[in-house]
Amino acid sequence: MSENEINNAAAEQYSANSIQVLEGLEAVRKRPSMYIGDVGERGLHHLVYEVVDNSIDEALAGYCSHIEVYINENNSITVKDNGRGIPTGMHEKENRSALEVVLTVLHAGGKFSKDSYKVSGGLHGVGVSCVNALSDYLKAEIHREGKVFVQEYSQGKPYKPVEVVGDADDTGTHVTFHPDPEIFQVCTVYKYDTLAARLRELAYLNKGIHLTLTDKRTLVNDVDENGKITGLF
């Protein structure tokens, strides 16, 4: 086939039907590197930073003093803070819970409101929804208004609406996620030292925040020679 024939064939194939409209978080899963840099080791760890950044924002706003990060036995990550907790009430425009909107809609969050956050970091309404899209499992547990709210997801899609599962005498947001091996095919194992270095930086830059990192994988296999079970920054 000549070059002209190839060009003509390509032109014929490019029609109105070639234009794709991606719904929800499909764009993130189609082109994850656009949002987190890459799908290797750097991108894998970047997921953690985005969730932690949300907690840091709560601290900068004066509502959070403790942030706990756990590397779980199955290589999932849990981030807990004692902030206000992501709102769980019904979002009027979206007609679903605000928690679900935050976790499933790009550019949704409190950072666009001058009244909610004076200072903020992260990807501004993109970060936590990207984490959700690129995880084969994510659980959000919200302690707020005297209740514990829970919603679970897979690849950015909720299993069911937000549920109340108990009472709470504290406030905060707990997010547990497991990176999707369909996306992260090269690197799927978190490195303690990489996360510890980042948390040390955040602790240095944000005075007064109590940050801890616990590696439950070493708790299962006893303490290693460096004693790297938990770090306080």
**Considering only CA atoms, which of 63, 45, 41 is closest in space to residue 54?**
63
DSSP state of 199: H
Give strand pairing partners of 139. Answer: 152, 176
Asked if residue 137 lies in contact with residue 72, where contact means CB atoms within 8 angstroms, the answer is no
**Considering only CA atoms, which of 211, 167, 205 is closest in space to residue 79?**
211
Taking each helix axis from N to C terminus, what angle separates 192-205 and 41-60, rounded to the nearest 10 degrees? 30
pTM here is: 0.81
Q: Give the residue carrying structure tokens 């490195």.
A: 191
Select from 1.20.120.10, 3.40.30.10, 3.40.50.620, 3.30.565.10 the CATH code of 29-232. 3.30.565.10
Q: Dihedral sign for Cα 181, 178, 44, 97, please.
A: positive
Q: What is the pLDDT of residue 107?
A: 60
Give the separation between CA 122 and CA 196, rounded to whole angstroms. 18
In what helix (H) or strand (E) does residue 137 lie, and over which residues does it extend? strand 135-144
Q: What is the pLDDT of residue 217?
A: 92
DSSP state of 158: E
What does each of the 233 residues of the chain score in pLDDT, given as a tens digit? 566 655 555 555 665 565 554 556 888 898 888 888 899 999 999 999 999 999 999 999 899 999 999 999 999 999 999 999 999 988 777 788 999 989 988 765 444 345 544 444 444 446 799 999 999 999 999 999 999 999 999 999 999 999 999 999 999 999 999 999 999 998 889 999 999 999 999 999 888 899 999 999 986 554 444 444 455 54
Structure tokens at 173: 């947001």
Phi, psi of 136, deg, nearest 5 = -80, -10
Other CB atoms within 10 A of residue 208 CB: 7
Domain limits, the chain: 29-232
